[in-house]
Amino acid sequence: MPAIGELLNSGTARLRAAGSESARLDAELLLGWAIGADRTTLIAHSDAPVGADASAAYERALVRREAGEPVAYIRGLKEFYGLAFSVDSRALIPRPETELLVAEAEHEIAWRLTAAPRPAGTPRLRVVEAGTGSGAIAIALAAVLRKRRMLPEVTILAVDNSADALGLARENAVGHGVAEDVVFTEADLLPDGEPAFDLILANLPYIPSAEIDRLPIAASFEPRPALDGGPDGLVVVRRLLAVLPAALTQAGTALLEIGFDQGPAVESAVGELPGRWECRIQPDLSGRPRLAHVERSANRASATGAR
């Protein structure tokens, strides 16, 4: 029987030859998945023998990875905001940079719930996520609000125009015990006939169409409509911006993930909205401008220093 260390070395060499830039990590994640152990255990027991079933599962996983399939789809799992999400080809794999959007949403909600007294009968805050995919953003937000005992004061809706993605999102909501707390709806951008929202969250497709085929091969396993933002990448984002005046409450905020070079174009689209609006672009953890905060100008003036 081959030892863990041998399988890791041979798998790493194969994946490197196949073009993976994270060959060692991929091999560790795939062998760990095949054995049912975490990476630390693999490293600590590199001489331990691996049984036939696990070796065969690892071999099948290596073949898929050599063909370019993302590790997350092979394992069926991706960590996001400290939670494990089921992932498959029905929806985009949640990216680490999107955790900033959840953190800011959590911050906005906590601020709104604590900045002023909320006498009994105060309506719940209304939050919607447009383009929920695997449900990662809405579900991670519900989970953290539950931990902070804020969930009873918040209503969370999550929308996608892909029935397949919504199926996966509902499964994830069940898995994280928030199926009763997040309402999933199939719609174009936002659900019809809903009252205005206090918070609109969106990580909509924003890759320019011509760039999609130049992305690493792993992206070709993800649903194209989850990535393709039209000629300049901002077609869907602009459609959402256009409905903000009707969809956001007076004091509402929209948090939109965008491409690192799209800030000026998004600021200019916000400048064309009727009324007075502001757009602040926040950098992600690597310092790249990635999160647009969009709200009516009066809000920011009244909130200056408070957030």
Ligand X SMILES: C[S@@+](CC[C@H](N)C(=O)[O-])C[C@H]1O[C@@H](n2cnc3c(N)ncnc32)[C@H](O)[C@@H]1O
Please report, as ranges, the residues that interact with ligand X according to CB under 6 A: 91-92, 94, 98, 130-134, 136-137, 159-162, 165, 188-189, 203-205, 225-226, 236
Residue 2: CB minimum distance to ligand X, A: 36
Q: Which pair of tokens denotes residue 40?
A: 């630390």
Residue 9: CB minimum distance to ligand X, A: 33
Residue 39: CB minimum distance to ligand X, A: 24
β-partners of residue 296 are 277
Residue 286: CB minimum distance to ligand X, A: 17
Residue 23 or 266: the one with the smaller Cβ distance to ligand X is 266
Residue 90: CB minimum distance to ligand X, A: 9
Residue 80 or 277: the one with the smaller Cβ distance to ligand X is 80
3-state secondary structure of 3: strand
In angstroms, rounded to a whole number, what is the distance separating the alpha carbons of residues 12 and 28?
A: 8
Residue 27 or 92: the one with the smaller Cβ distance to ligand X is 92
Residue 156 or 204: the one with the smaller Cβ distance to ligand X is 204
Is residue 132 within 8 A of residue 138, CB to CB? The reply is yes
- Using alpha carbons, list the distances in angstroms from residue 51 to 25, 46, 125, 159: 21, 14, 53, 44
The H or E element spanning position 197 is: strand 197-202
Is residue 258 within 8 A of residue 270, CB to CB? The reply is no
Cα of 200 vs its chain's centroid, Å = 14
Residue 212 or 298: the one with the smaller Cβ distance to ligand X is 212
Cα of 86 vs its chain's centroid, Å = 12
